[in-house]
Amino acid sequence: MNISGEHLVDAVKYLAAGIAMGLGAIGPAIGEGIAAAHALDGMARQPEMEPALLRTMIIGQAITESTGIYSLIVAIILLFVV
Protein backbone atom coordinates (compact mmCIF):
# COMPACT_ATOMS: atom_id res chain seq x y z
CA MET A 1 0.00 0.00 0.00
CA ASN A 2 1.55 3.25 -1.08
CA ILE A 3 0.38 6.47 0.48
CA SER A 4 0.45 9.56 -1.70
CA GLY A 5 0.15 13.17 -0.66
CA GLU A 6 -3.55 13.29 -1.55
CA HIS A 7 -4.37 10.51 0.90
CA LEU A 8 -2.45 12.34 3.57
CA VAL A 9 -4.40 15.54 2.88
CA ASP A 10 -7.71 13.64 3.06
CA ALA A 11 -6.77 11.96 6.33
CA VAL A 12 -5.64 15.19 7.96
CA LYS A 13 -8.77 16.92 6.67
CA TYR A 14 -11.10 14.48 8.41
CA LEU A 15 -8.97 14.50 11.55
CA ALA A 16 -8.98 18.30 11.64
CA ALA A 17 -12.75 18.46 11.14
CA GLY A 18 -13.29 16.04 14.02
CA ILE A 19 -10.93 17.90 16.35
CA ALA A 20 -12.45 21.27 15.44
CA MET A 21 -15.97 20.07 16.14
CA GLY A 22 -15.09 18.16 19.30
CA LEU A 23 -13.10 20.93 20.95
CA GLY A 24 -15.50 23.60 19.74
CA ALA A 25 -18.47 21.83 21.31
CA ILE A 26 -16.99 21.94 24.83
CA GLY A 27 -17.29 25.67 25.43
CA PRO A 28 -20.90 26.24 24.33
CA ALA A 29 -22.02 23.11 26.19
CA ILE A 30 -20.58 24.36 29.49
CA GLY A 31 -21.83 27.87 28.86
CA GLU A 32 -25.36 26.81 28.00
CA GLY A 33 -25.45 24.56 31.03
CA ILE A 34 -24.47 27.45 33.30
CA ALA A 35 -27.13 29.67 31.69
CA ALA A 36 -29.81 27.00 32.17
CA ALA A 37 -28.76 26.37 35.77
CA HIS A 38 -29.00 30.03 36.71
CA ALA A 39 -32.31 30.43 34.88
CA LEU A 40 -33.66 27.46 36.85
CA ASP A 41 -32.43 29.07 40.07
CA GLY A 42 -34.29 32.21 39.18
CA MET A 43 -37.43 30.33 38.19
CA ALA A 44 -37.45 28.36 41.44
CA ARG A 45 -37.14 31.56 43.42
CA GLN A 46 -39.69 33.53 41.41
CA PRO A 47 -42.00 31.20 39.47
CA GLU A 48 -44.06 34.14 38.20
CA MET A 49 -41.02 35.36 36.22
CA GLU A 50 -40.82 32.11 34.24
CA PRO A 51 -41.85 33.33 30.74
CA ALA A 52 -39.46 36.29 30.77
CA LEU A 53 -36.62 34.19 32.19
CA LEU A 54 -37.21 31.43 29.65
CA ARG A 55 -37.13 33.86 26.75
CA THR A 56 -34.00 35.61 27.94
CA MET A 57 -32.34 32.26 28.62
CA ILE A 58 -33.05 31.06 25.09
CA ILE A 59 -31.64 34.26 23.58
CA GLY A 60 -28.55 34.01 25.76
CA GLN A 61 -28.03 30.37 24.89
CA ALA A 62 -28.45 31.10 21.21
CA ILE A 63 -25.72 33.72 21.40
CA THR A 64 -23.51 31.44 23.49
CA GLU A 65 -23.94 28.81 20.82
CA SER A 66 -22.23 31.06 18.24
CA THR A 67 -18.74 29.72 18.98
CA GLY A 68 -19.96 26.16 18.54
CA ILE A 69 -21.57 27.16 15.26
CA TYR A 70 -18.29 28.74 14.14
CA SER A 71 -16.43 25.50 14.74
CA LEU A 72 -19.19 23.62 12.89
CA ILE A 73 -18.73 25.98 9.93
CA VAL A 74 -14.97 25.38 10.03
CA ALA A 75 -15.55 21.61 10.13
CA ILE A 76 -18.01 21.80 7.22
CA ILE A 77 -15.58 23.89 5.18
CA LEU A 78 -12.82 21.37 5.92
CA LEU A 79 -15.05 18.46 4.87
CA PHE A 80 -16.73 19.86 1.77
CA VAL A 81 -14.72 22.80 0.46
CA VAL A 82 -11.02 22.22 1.18
Instruction: Name the strand (E) or helix (H) holding 62.
Output: helix 50-64
Asked if 23 and 74 count as a contact pair (C-beta separation under 8 A), the reply is no
Sign of the Cα pseudo-torsion (59, 60, 64, 65, in order):
negative
29: contact with other proteins by CB under 8 A: no
Q: DSSP letter at 49?
A: G
Binding string, residues 46-75; x marks residues near other proteins by CB under 8 A: -----xx--x--xx--xx-xx-xxx-xx--
Closer by beta carbon to other proteins, 8 or else 77: 77
Query: Which residues contact other proteins (rule: CB under 8 A)?
Result: 51-52, 55, 58-59, 62-63, 65-66, 68-70, 72-73, 76, 79-80
